[in-house]
Amino acid sequence: MRLSPRAPRPALLAPPRAAPRAALRAALRAALCAALWLPRPAAALPAAPPPPLHETFGAGELALSGLSLAGLLTLTLFGQELLGPAAPSMGPPAEGSADLRASRWSNPRLDPRAQWLGGAPDLLGYVAPAAALTYYAGGALLAGAGVGAARPHEAVALAQGLSWAMFGTSLLKRLVGRERPFVVRARAGELRVEEVDMSPSERLLSFPSGHSTAIAAASFFVAADVSDALASGPLRGAPPAARALLGRAAPYAAAAAVSWVVMYSRVKDQRHWLSDTLTGAALGALCALLSYHAHFDERGEPRRRAR
């Protein structure tokens, strides 16, 4: 039996590329918004311009923030001259306490000159807040020049939260006067305290941790900003579970992870006890979140002060 020749197959139609590309661009923009703190997508921006700074921030609170910043600089530069050398009013942790167990677990063979990861987490504790301030302030300056759509409100609010938190931390350090872990462990014969390049006055400034305060304040402020940007922007039409997980839980989990890296380094390097880092991080996160939510609504837009 003779078979008829097979009919040629019709040419396949090329799949449309516009829709996948648009979806890919939207997904990449959402990821970059969360990871790199890019400005909100255009669809999430309000139709009306944001209120002027004086309608969001009161003169009294700005003056208080300025006093906090001035107090922080004064305590940093002249704290010992004004308040005298810190006296140890908080004793060392008791044997078997969480502080002492965490110190020994994180660094059982103590080398006080070696820093975890070469000291990078310590540097992150102050570089990250400076980078966040630079990003927000720089974005506002570029927007003033007609580039981008950033606002100065975030920079002012972050500076406000940071000034409150760091002034409180610096004041507590001088008032409490807690010995650092390497000093306490030196008395137990685990090392010689002379091996640590730190002045005697600095050895009594363990509580609370300034690095932990700074990194928590910056990371949780950014987390709140990114969370509102995602929930009201790329994820505003997503299912509630996805919005809660990706738009709310994920940014705060990332902020907690970044803060933990710095906190762990301070404990491992024997510069702070666990309770020092927890207290500092709680103070920083609290001040930053209070400043953010007092001045921004659930969409991340600046509020107008009640008159």
pLDDT of residue 271: 93
Residue-wise pLDDT tens digits, 270-285: 999 999 999 999 999 9
Say if residues 33 and 229 touch (Cβ distance below 8 Å).
Answer: yes
Task: Say what the pLDDT of residue 18 is.
Answer: 44
Confidence of residue 155 (pLDDT cuts 50, 70, 90): very high
Handedness of CA 95, 97, 100, 103 (dihedral sign): positive
CA dist 225 and 232 (Å) reads 11
Count of other CB atoms within 10 angstroms of residue 167: 22
CB atoms within 10 A of CB 117: 13
In this predicted structure, what is the pLDDT of residue 141?
Answer: 82
Coil, strand, or helix at residue 296? strand
Grouping H, G, I as helix, E, B as strand and the rest as coil, residue 191 is: coil
pLDDT digits (tens, 9 = 90+) for 207-266: 999 999 999 999 999 999 999 999 988 998 899 999 999 999 999 999 999 999 999 999
- Say if residue 38's pLDDT is above 60: no
Q: Are 228 and 23 in contact (CB under 8 A)?
A: no
SS3 sequence of 246-257? HHHHHHHHHHHH
The reported pLDDT for the residue numbered 26 is: 52
Q: CA-CA distances (angstroms) from residue 210 to 138, 158, 187, 271, 278?
A: 25, 16, 25, 11, 11
The proportion of the chain whose per-residue pLDDT surpasses 70, expressed as a percent, equals: 79
Asked whether 143 and 283 are in contact (CB, 8 A), the reply is no
C-alpha R_g of the chain:
26
**pLDDT at residue 89 in the model:** 80
Assign 90 to helix, strand or coil: strand
Give me the mean pLDDT over the 2-21 stretch. Answer: 44
Nearest partner of 151 among 257, 234, 229, judged by Cα: 229
Amino acid at 218: A
96-145: pLDDT as tens digits = 999 999 999 998 877 766 788 989 999 999 999 999 999 999 887 876 66
73-86 per-position pLDDT tens digit: 888 888 878 887 77
23/28 Cα distance (integer angstroms): 9
Question: Which amino acid type is present at position 205?
Answer: L
The residue that leads in pLDDT, 74 or 18, is 74
pLDDT (mean) for 178-191: 86
Burial 14-28 (b: 16+ CB within 10 A, else e): eeeeeeeeeeeeeee
Q: Is the pLDDT of residue 55 over 80?
A: yes
Residues 85 and 91: their CA atoms lie apart, in Å, by 16
- 285: tokens are 């996160």
pLDDT at position 282 is 98
In this prediction, residue 150 carries a pLDDT of 65
> Within 10 A of 260 (CB to CB), how many other CB atoms are there?
17
Question: Could you check whether the bond before residue 85 is cis, i.e. omega within 30 degrees of 0?
Answer: no
Q: Are 38 and 32 in contact (CB under 8 A)?
A: yes
Whole-model pTM: value is 0.82
The CA–CA distances, whole Å, from 97 to 3, 100, 162 equal 89, 5, 31
Q: Which residue has the higher pLDDT, 183 or 41?
A: 183
